[in-house]
Amino acid sequence: MTLHAAKGLEFDTVAMVGIEQGLLPHIRASGNDDAMEEERRLCYVGMTRARKQLILTRAQQRTMRGMRQQCSPSQFLNEMPSGAIDEEVIDDPWRHEYQQDADSSANSAGLVAGQRVVHPTFGRGRIRQVNHQHRGGKAIVEFDTGITRTLILEYANLRAIGST
């Protein structure tokens, strides 16, 4: 549900995901005082929908357009009164599964068509085609979920798994 759609509603528990600079407040609001105030108001609307429990989450890293980026906490978190937030850092269990499944000796330069791979977002799949003529290389990967993606190997974080 969007923050706009939440106006006037209340829930026992509300979870707001992505409380990061660039998401909330949205990047388009930066440098515009009126837009930033609207983002702040929307954040307040979301927070005040919770009757009993409010859960705010943010990522330390996020993959956007195939590139991993560090994420900064939303400035709105810093504007909250001291002691208003119980902060809990939760380690990403998928990252550990991904690292355990991955063949650490393989890198993107050695990937070939037919090879089984794992991707941190899309999961397991099979490389259908590799083109190393593109800077960084490209691969067409058919994932076990049925999704097929063309990925730039330099940024894709693909790791070889199992046998071909």
Question: 119-144 pLDDT, tens per residue?
Answer: 988 899 999 998 877 666 889 999 99
Domains identified in the chain, total number: 2
Range name among 74-78, 84-88, 155-159 with the lowest pLDDT average? 84-88
Alpha helical stretches, state H, the chain: 33-47, 75-78, 93-101, 153-156
* Short-list 147, 137, 140, 153, CA closest to 113: 140
Summarised one tens digit per residue, pLDDT across range 83-113 is 788 888 776 655 544 444 433 333 455 788 8
70 within some domain: yes
Residue 77, phi then psi, degrees to nearest 5? -65, -40
115 lies in the same domain as 56: no
pLDDT value of residue 93: 56
Over the chain, what is the mean pLDDT? 84
31 within some domain: yes
Write out the two tokens for 111. Answer: 């990937």
70 lies in the same domain as 97: no
Q: Which long-range contacts (CB under 8 A, 24 or more apart) does 121-124 make?
A: 121/63, 122/147, 122/149, 124/161
What share of the chain in percent tops pLDDT 70? Answer: 85
97 within some domain: yes
Q: Which domain range does residue 30 map to?
A: 11-78
136 within some domain: yes
* Short-list 41, 6, 39, 4, CA closest to 20: 39
105 lies in the same domain as 150: yes
144-149 mean pLDDT: 91
